[in-house]
Amino acid sequence: MKKPLVASLLLVLSVLSWPRAQASSADPFRATIPDTLQFAEKQLRATANALPLSAYPSSTALDGSWDTTGSGSWTSGFLSGTFWYMYQYTRNPFWRLQAEQWQTGLESQKFRTDDQDLGFMILDSYGHGYRQTGNDTYRQVVLTAAESLAQRFDPNLGYIRSRGDLSDTEDFRVIIDTLMNSELLFWGARNGGGREWYDMAHQHALHVLETHVREDGSTLQTVSIDPRTGTIQEQSKEQGCRWNTTWARGQAWAVYGFTMAYRETHDPRLLQAARRTADYFLQHLPADKVPYWDLEVPHRSQEPRDSSAAAIVASALVELSQLENQPRRAARYWYAARDILISLSSPAYLTRHKQSRSILRHGTAYKPHDKYDTGLIQGDYFFIEALLRYSSARPPARAAWTPPGEAEAPLSRRGEDPSMGTDDVSLSFSLRLMSLPSEDAGLPSHEGDLMGHLLVRPSGELALSNGEIEIGARSIPLKVGQAYRILLRQKKDSGPYTILEAYLAREGEDFECPFVSSRVVLSSPASGPPRSAALAPLDAIVEDLEVHPAPR
């Protein structure tokens, strides 16, 4: 009687092992993933041994060590989350211990109502802990964080406020990144929170689709809304090149965020949003499938890549391939994820044999502030997530499919320098700070505030304001004694909107991407010649002031 039983067991074992063996032979990349994860484990052990529990890695320094932040940084949850992923993969208690130790210092963040990054901080740490251990204390931490984030939702506008004080009645700023953090509300609604959290996250995703996704599937990073009327006051960039180009990681947040929102809601509008943003991303990749830091940045061959954006999209595409109801699209997204992961696992992007604590290199944190070509903790987190998702997912049924851009009509790219009309103004001047101001100090602007005031902050950063509201991003801090050239541009756009841009370059260097590039409703009508504005005394030399009625 025993022989038939043994034979039956052998048959069962052979049947159970067949799909994995078949998958490895059909997909050689899967066979390489354990080796890559073994390398990642080595890097993460070195990080765990090198850093105190109060120091959270963000990006790598020139010597390859981690620059760190406190627990309040938006990236603070990613290390614990990566440790949880290693515990999921290895079941080694060491990784559970590391994850639990590193997340402990984050618990106090659950009460914050002044920040939209609670999903990154708490869901990506304690959320993984609850999923893998069932510890109800962890669930309660995440639910408290969701309750805190819910307070940033405005029921009249239908958005989660990304920036600013909850009582601000002048400006309501929404960045594309917040779509990622809305998962905290979806999770909370499924795990003991109120149904209203689900509705908040759903509404936020639909409104972001309306205001942040352009017709061609590209995305805006930042939109400022008038809280009183709901009208758009400003469309701008912070980490991209210009307001009307596409920041690579922002596009990645959109692909991932809309995919997640569709998984939670099954709303076909959000599936379409995930498709559109994914297709645009894939159509703007270079040959090695890792994007430049901005998808439309000029002089691309000279520009840095962003491996973190590639990792985020790879993870999203694996999930999208499993959710997609059209076989051709499912196959396309699966193979696109595979191609990206093959590239990231190669010597060109993996830090194997390099002096670095990170797993991936060539990440871009904030190119306008010269933070690029580095390891990024969020890149490592999403890379590990993508590898684990790819390893456990079922490949879509083979179907006839065509690479993005060939099956559909190719999308035209937006020009970098749209022509400016006769009402446009270009103003440039040289600036040398002799000392930093004690408070905000004004620089040349336009009479009647038609061109936003350019301010020097006590930190040395330049900021552009439109009336009382600061717009766009700030520049890198200016060095005392260094000569700079500054260019301001104003271009009338459709309807009530005007495009304002501010450029900064060291004297003798060419202007590259502006540090401010925003589409705004001006605070006052355009009229009059340039003038000098002053909010506080400024010890500086301003020379070679030039005004042009046409683009330079």
Tokens representing 213 are: 């996704």
| Side-chain-side CA neighbours of residue 510 (13 Å) | 4
- Regions in the chain scoring below 50 on pLDDT: 1-25, 399-422, 446-451, 525-535, 550-552
Tokens representing 242 are: 């210009």
Give yes or no for a contact between 235 and 243, defined as CB atoms under 8 angstroms apart: yes
Q: What is the pLDDT of residue 202?
A: 99
Radius of gyration in angstroms for the set of CA atoms belonging to the chain, rounded to a whole number: 25
Three-class DSSP category at 547: strand
| Side-chain-side CA neighbours of residue 80 (13 Å) | 30
Q: What is the pLDDT of residue 17?
A: 31
Tokens representing 207 are: 């409104």
* Rounded Cα distance, 82 and 388, in Å: 11
Give Cα separations from 149 to 104, 152, 266, 431, 483 (angstroms). Answer: 20, 6, 23, 42, 44
- Tally of residues, the chain: 552
Residues forming beta bridges with residue 66, ordered by sequence position? 60
Q: Could you read off the pLDDT of 392-440 as tens digits, one per residue?
A: 999 987 544 444 443 333 323 332 223 233 357 888 888 888 889 888 8
28-34: long-range pairs with CB below 8 Å, 24+: 29/338, 29/341, 29/342, 29/345, 30/390, 30/391, 32/345, 33/345, 33/387, 33/390, 33/391
DSSP 334-398: HHHHHHHHHHHTSTTTB-TTSS-SSSB--EEEEGGGTEEEE-BHHHHHHHHHHHHHHHHSPPPPP
Those residues whose C-beta lies under 8 Å from the C-beta of residue 248, and which sit 6 or more positions away, are 240, 281, 291, 292, 293, 294, 295, 306, 309, 364
Q: What is the pLDDT of residue 418?
A: 30
CA 18 and chain centroid, separation: 39
Extended strands (E) in 495-548: 497-506, 516-521, 530-532, 540-548
Tokens representing 290 are: 């890792």
Tokens representing 149 are: 């984030």
Q: What is the pTM of this model?
A: 0.84
CA end-to-end span of the chain, whole Å? Answer: 91
* Rounded Cα distance, 224 and 502, in Å: 18
Residues forming beta bridges with residue 224, ordered by sequence position? 173, 234
* Rounded Cα distance, 442 and 465, in Å: 10
Backbone φ and ψ for 440, nearest 5 degrees, come out as -55, 130
Q: Could you read off the pLDDT of 303-341 as tens digits, one per residue?
A: 999 999 999 999 999 999 999 999 999 999 999 999 999
Amino acid at 265: T
Three-class DSSP category at 3: helix
CA 546 and chain centroid, separation: 37
Q: In which residue are the tokens 């320094």 written?
A: 61
* Rounded Cα distance, 197 and 195, in Å: 5
Give yes or no for a contact between 205 and 493, defined as CB atoms under 8 angstroms apart: no
Give 550's DSSP letter.
S
Burial of residue 282 (CB within 10 Å: 0-12, 13-18, 19+) is buried
Amino acid at 298: P
Q: Where do the domains of the chain lie, and which CATH numbers do they carry?
A: 24-392 (1.50.10.10), 425-548 (2.60.120.200)
Residues annotated catalytic, as ranges = 117, 177
Give Cα separations from 27 to 21, 151, 394, 395 (angstroms). Answer: 10, 46, 12, 10
Amino acid at 417: D
DSSP 442-457: EEEEEGGGSSPEEEE-
Question: String of b and e for 450-461 (b: at least 16 CB within 10 Å)?
Answer: bbbbbbbbeebb
Three-class DSSP category at 484: strand
